[in-house]
Amino acid sequence: MPNEADLLAYATGFARRHRDYAVPYAREYAEKLRSCGDREGCAVWHRVADAIANGEVDTAPVTRAAA
């Protein structure tokens, strides 16, 4: 089971990549894991979805300075 800091870091990247679809994708993947018998993985992915849905992560896109 990942620690809270690692989970939030992953959730941040996931949210930035998938934007409006991040929560549904995470929940869908959690249920796929549950159907395969992976309860721990299911719990982790629901936690990722919860962190995104509850605003615990920064979902703003990363901007890079021009070189």
What digits encode the pLDDT tens for the residues 14-31? 999 999 999 999 999 999
pLDDT in tens, the chain (67 residues): 899 999 999 999 999 999 999 999 999 999 999 999 999 999 999 999 999 999 999 888 777 776 6
Nearest by Cα to 26 from 41, 52, 45, 9: 45
Are the C-beta atoms of 11 and 56 separated by less than 8 Å?
Answer: yes
Look at residue 1 in the predicted model and tell me its pLDDT: 85
What local confidence, expressed as pLDDT, does residue 67 receive? 64
N- to C-terminal Cα separation, the chain:
39
For residue 9, give the nearest of 46, 50, 56, 41 by alpha carbon: 56
**Which pLDDT score, from 0 to 100, does residue 64 have?**
75
User: What pLDDT was estimated at residue 63?
Assistant: 77
- CB atoms inside a 10 Å sphere around CB 44: 19
